[in-house]
Amino acid sequence: MFKDITIGQYVEGNSFIHKMDARVKILLSLFYIIILFLISSPVAYAVFTAFTLFLVYLSKVPPKFILRGLKPMMYILVFTAVLNLFMTQGSTVLWVCPFWSTLKITKEGLTTAVLMILRLVYLVIGTSVLTLTTSPLMLTDGIEKILKPFEIIKVPSHEIAMMMTIAIRFIPTLSEETEKIMKAQMARGADFESGNVLKRAKAMIPLLVPLFISAFRRADDLAVAMDSRCYHGGKNRTRMKQMKMTVRDLWATLFMVGFAAAVIFIQKLM
Amino acid sequence: MIKVSDLTYVYQQGMPYEKTALDSLSFEIPDGDFTAIIGHTGSGKSTLIQHLNALVRPTSGKIEIDGVDITAPNADLRTVRKNVGLVFQYPEHQLFEETVYKDIAFGPTNMGLSESEIRNRVYEAAGFVGLPLELLEKSPFELSGGQKRRVAIAGVLSMQPKVLILDEPTAGLDPKGRDEILDQLVRLHAENEKMTIIFVSHSMEDVARIAKDILVMNKGRLAMQGSVAEVFAHSSELREMGLNVPQITELTHRLIADGVDIRPDVYTVKFAAELYAELLKEAENV
């Protein structure tokens, strides 16, 4: 169940998007999200859908990986859809509940529900394309560089990036550990799946205590290992891999800006 | 009896990282056996033992324990896990309770036993692993590495399984801790003739010292199965799989190659010492 989380699950590749500069990718992803929240007309969404599919195609990441990232979102998606479907007021009524007339579906509700789902799905797909094509290391390097100008107002950009790197690095390790401890306790008859909320919460203790202990132990080991290799923070630290922007990034940015302009134009027009 | 037939497990089926971890395994392990599973890292040992108490479901194939198919969709997993106790690698990492007593009692409590029955089982299990009773009220996190491991093993023994499976029970222990665990396994087997013990090990010395039979895994397949003597007789094949025979066996084989007249089925230092002593005595008498 923990294997479903896509964060930090970089898929190696050699596509156009893989080769882009991490900084540009992060900023363009932000841009992508902003556009996603600016549009609301069905036609603009259609164009956006085409663009998203194009991105996925360009990234050469097997669609299976991207769909896997959506799985944990199922409940939120269904919940949002149901709420929007029934709660949106509108003029064109499509269906009225025969038992309770307040419960009805309007044309506006249906549109909002569909668009809301699309918005959430594209949000995940857009960010997945970023995390699937950028190694966690490049990602945090990019964030560090983007945050650099904020050091003037005492934002510890290097430390933030380092903490994120470590956190991302340990997600798979800890999820593996979780699975192992779960199995070990299940072998002793622990039951994580049945019972009411209280009982289930209590059943988590045999999982969480060992997990926390092991996380602290790993953190301690890591701190000692870093210390023994003379790690002392961000000052005067150079990189093994320098980030370089290329023509590719320029094209990507121009394309993105062009796309944004087009979509917003369509949105305004409709 | 454990009967595994045509067991196959494909890891992450349908994903780009798809890997056949177990490839049509078939074998039987009789009741009361003391079997070691050896194999190179990644040969599927851990995956195999997790199948034996239904923590992992096979992709295809069947596992029967005492005639009960534990891979059936409607199998009673509670009973399966009660009958087949699995001690994971570094089992001390699973300890969580406030006291050693409570931790050992976790399994029996989950089985829904009475208070007095649980008490009996905890004391019995603690006795089996040689845990001093005054430690029972201590926090498991105050104990030494070897003691913690014994607590964790006791936590599985307290469920009184018919089959006890241990994944590298001596990994990461110092020589003294290792000897203690191995001796306890031997004693456990001697005192419970019906209990089947299966353990995974990377140490051929440990295997030669305590196991009766060996199951050799190689790249997800069953490479060999037989008694300790039968398996260690194939030293060159084992070496091809990245495994080895006990050092003392290796030494003996080299002596034979150099023309010393000595029997080749020597697997423990103790036995070798007797043989060599005899050999020396003969040499003196000549």
Per-domain boundaries in chain B: 2-231, 246-286
Condensed to tens digits (0 to 9), the pLDDT of residues A204-224 reads 999 999 999 999 999 999 999
Closest C-alpha among A123, A117, A37 to residue A77: A117
Q: What's the gap in Å between the CA of B4 and the closest CA on chain A?
A: 19
In eight-state DSSP terms, residue B164 is E
B122, HSE (Cβ side, Cα atoms, 13 Å): 23
- Residue B105 CA to residue B107 CA, distance in Å, equals 6
Q: What percent of chain A has pLDDT above 90?
A: 27
Please list, residue by residue across B40-70, b when 16 or more beta carbons sit within 10 angstroms of its beta carbon and e when fewer do: beebbbbbbbbbbbbbbebeebebbbeeeeb
Chain centroid to CA B54? 17
Contact A183 B55 (CB under 8 A): yes
Give the pLDDT band of residue A1 (cuts 50, 70, 90).
Answer: very low
Per-domain boundaries in chain A: 2-134+242-269
Q: Is the ipTM of this complex over 0.90?
A: no
Closest C-alpha among A233, A256, A227, A219 to residue A130: A256
- Kindly report the number of other CB atoms within 10 A of residue B229's CB atom: 13
Kindly state the greatest CA–CA separation across chain B.
Answer: 71
Architecture of the domain whose range is B2-231:
3-Layer(aba) Sandwich (3.40)
pLDDT at position A106 is: 82
- Is the pLDDT score of B146 beyond 60? yes
Any chain A CB within 8 A of the CB of B99? no
Any chain A CB within 8 A of the CB of B16? yes
Condensed to tens digits (0 to 9), the pLDDT of residues B250-263 reads 888 888 889 888 88
A153, HSE (Cβ side, Cα atoms, 13 Å): 3
In eight-state DSSP terms, residue B65 is E
Q: What's the gap in Å between the CA of B80 and the closest CA on chain A?
A: 9
Instruction: Decide: A25 and A17 in contact? Cβ < 8 Å.
Output: yes
Give the pLDDT band of residue B48 (cuts 50, 70, 90).
Answer: very high
- Residue B237 CA to residue A49 CA, distance in Å, equals 58
The residues with which B4 forms a beta bridge, in sequence order, are: B27, B63
- Residue B96 CA to residue B99 CA, distance in Å, equals 9
Contact B96 A183 (CB under 8 A): no
- Residue B58 CA to residue B48 CA, distance in Å, equals 9
Q: Quickly list DSSP for A103-124.
A: -EEEHHHHHHHHHHHHHHHHHH
Residues in B closer than 8 angstroms to A205, CB to CB, are 96
In eight-state DSSP terms, residue A245 is -
Contact A213 B93 (CB under 8 A): yes
Helix (H) or strand (E) holding B179: helix B175-191
Average pLDDT of the residues of chain B: 90
